[in-house]
Structure 1
Amino acid sequence: MENSPSVQSSIKYIVIGVIVVVLLTWLWPLRSVPTGSRGVVTVGGAIKGIESEGFMLVAPWQTLSIFNIRAEEAAVENADGSTSDTQPVRVSLTVRYSIKPDKVAEVFEKYSHDGNLQSYVQTATQEVFKAVTARYTAPDLIGKRSLVSSDILDALRKKLEVYGAQVINVDMRNFSFSQDYMAAISAKVTQEQLRLGAENKLKTVESEQKQKVAIAEAEASALKAQADGEAYQILKLATAQADALKVQNAALAQNKDVLELRRIEVEQTKAAKWNGQLPSAVYASAPIPFFNAPSSSSK
């Protein structure tokens, strides 16, 4: 019982200390706004100011709310749409957006106290996707994907501008159609591949035929050139021989004694080779070899 006053005194000091800490925490005027955020200062729920990143003084009767303006993501899974040729289509999208710094007060007052607009972005994205896909046929959605993505991005930027948000980009993940349509596309692709294969084979055959024709024409040209060369050589040789005969004939015509001299030389050669016997059969028109018959004067 002797220590009870001291114990009571200690408890009193502890209570006073806790009260002081609570009061200091509540009344402490220094606050901070993190990077990528804005501080919304309100009094009784009414907006009194928007503060940038850093330290700031907040009065006890004021409330500071941290509002995010960094990029956020909103995912839309299996958004439904229909093409202009009445083909149902689905796609998953991811939208990256952020709150415009000059729209913080408006967004805080109308839509969100922390800058999260995910539900608004998802709803707007689904509406825009349906509107854009209705302008394209199913084949165009596949073949013109970059253009479709650009149209969705432009339309979504205009729609989310109402909510004070700016769209950074939109990612689309695979268009999916009905099973029947995908089977039809697969069959069409197969037919196109077969057609291209047949065309390529035909082109190959035509190319080979052209090569064969070119080779045959080249060989024919070579043979013709060879024949022309041989014919030319024969013609030149015949011309030379004819010219030689003309020269010989002209020479003989000018000097008949030369011809007679050659005839005598031939007869002398025959006489030198004769063995003195007459042929056993002599035709009427055949020449008889000459011989020296005794003359009558010798008798």
Structure 2
Amino acid sequence: MQFKWIKKLVLAIVAIIVLFMLTPFAIVPAGHRGVLTTFGKPSAQVYDEGLHFRWPLAQTMHLVGVAIEKGEGEGDAASRDLQRVKTRIAINYHVKPEAAVTVYRDLGNQPGDRIIVPAVQEAVKAVTARYTAEELISKRAVVRDDIVAALRERMSRHGLVIDEFSIINFNFSKTFDEAIEAKTTAEQLKMKAERDLQRIEVEAQQKIARAKAEAEALSLQRQQVTAELLRLREIENQAKAIEKWDGNLPTTMAGGALPFINLPTKQ
């Protein structure tokens, strides 16, 4: 009884496989293009998403992904000043829909392994060798653009398109990292010293300006104190003393002397 049940199951599976092989239709799902082969030979036509007719057994529909793919990786290279650099990158790319037949036929439907990986490694090494280690850091955007330019030309020949490319990180040797840190610290100390010097110079200039202003004010005052001005001040003081005098001479004076006041004499 159990043997009969197993036999029926096997027959059912075989029937499903035969029906699948004999079905005259093929489906191309979203994000793909179809390449139809007749006894293994790919046709020149690219099949869009949807349902398509095929000859059972003789023809097979192969799917080529055209949606955006993402890849990340690391590569070792040497800078122009012979510093060892490990670069980590991320790339988004896709297959041109019209190039689906080329990708299937020439790249075995494996563009990532056949083209993307070696092309990225080669481009990163070639561009890294143009710059010193410090320039790789300070000119990161320029380095990225150079790598993209090198990649775009090679990838376009195989029907591939770069959507995004990013340099995630540059890793250098421990010795170089320590040298960069020491240089950064020295530059920060230099900038602080320059700011302190500027502050001291400004404060000194302010003190000189204040002293100069005070000297000019004293000089102006000395120029204004003339003999005529002193005589005028003496007459004004005598006039004020006369206004306050009650007409009586004091009987005693400290020091035993009377104040001398110039009074006009009668003619």
Would the aligned equivalents of 2:92 and 2:162 in 1 still touch at CA under 8 Å?
A: yes
Distance 2:165 2:145 in 1: 9
Alignment of 1:160 onto 2:155: yes
- Which residue of structure 2 aligns with residue 283 of structure 1? none
Would the aligned equivalents of 1:75 and 1:122 in 2 still touch at CA under 8 Å?
A: no
Q: What displacement does 1:176 show?
A: 1.4
Q: 1:195-234 alignment to 2 at 5 Å? A: 195-231=190-226, 234=229
> TM-score, normalising length from structure 2?
0.76
RMSD: 3.0
Q: What displacement does 1:144 show?
A: 0.6
Distance 1:237 1:17 in 2: 137
Q: What displacement does 1:21 show?
A: 5.8
Identify the match of residue 129 of structure 1 among 114, 124, 130: 124
Aligned pair count reads 231
Name the amino acid aligned to 1:167.
I
Considering only CA atoms, is the larger Rg found in Structure 1 or Structure 2? 1
Structure 1 residues not aligned, in runs of 5+: 1-7, 242-261, 267-299
- Which residue of structure 1 aligns with residue 255 of structure 2? none
Name the amino acid aligned to 1:81.
A
Distance 1:107 1:159 in 2: 14
Would the aligned equivalents of 1:73 and 1:118 in 2 still touch at CA under 8 Å?
A: no
Q: What displacement does 1:177 show?
A: 1.3
Would the aligned equivalents of 1:100 and 1:164 in 2 still touch at CA under 8 Å?
A: yes
- Which residue of structure 1 aligns with residue 38 of structure 2? 43
Name the amino acid aligned to 1:69.
V
- Which residue of structure 2 aligns with residue 99 of structure 1? 95
Distance 1:145 1:213 in 2: 48
- Which residue of structure 2 aligns with residue 174 of structure 1? 169
Distance 2:9 2:190 in 1: 92
- Which residue of structure 1 aligns with residue 107 of structure 2? 111
Q: Percent identity?
A: 34
Name the amino acid aligned to 1:71.
I
Distance 1:33 1:84 in 2: 49
- Go from structure 1 to structure 2 and tell me whether the alpha carbon gap of 1:14 and 1:188 turns closer, same or farther (over 3 Å shift): closer
Q: What displacement does 1:203 show?
A: 0.6
Residue 163 of structure 1 aligns to a residue in which SS?
coil
Q: 1:1-299 alignment to 2 at 5 Å? A: 24-48=19-43, 49-60=45-56, 61-77=58-74, 79-113=75-109, 116-231=111-226, 234=229, 237=232, 265=266
- Go from structure 1 to structure 2 and tell me whether the alpha carbon gap of 1:225 and 1:118 turns closer, same or farther (over 3 Å shift): farther
- Which residue of structure 2 aligns with residue 273 of structure 1? none
Q: What displacement does 1:189 show?
A: 1.2
> TM-score, normalising length from structure 1?
0.68
Distance 2:88 2:192 in 1: 35
- Go from structure 1 to structure 2 and tell me whether the alpha carbon gap of 1:81 and 1:23 turns closer, same or farther (over 3 Å shift): closer
- Go from structure 1 to structure 2 and tell me whether the alpha carbon gap of 1:178 and 1:14 turns closer, same or farther (over 3 Å shift): closer
Q: What displacement does 1:22 show?
A: 5.5
Distance 2:141 2:80 in 1: 18
Q: What displacement does 1:102 show?
A: 2.3
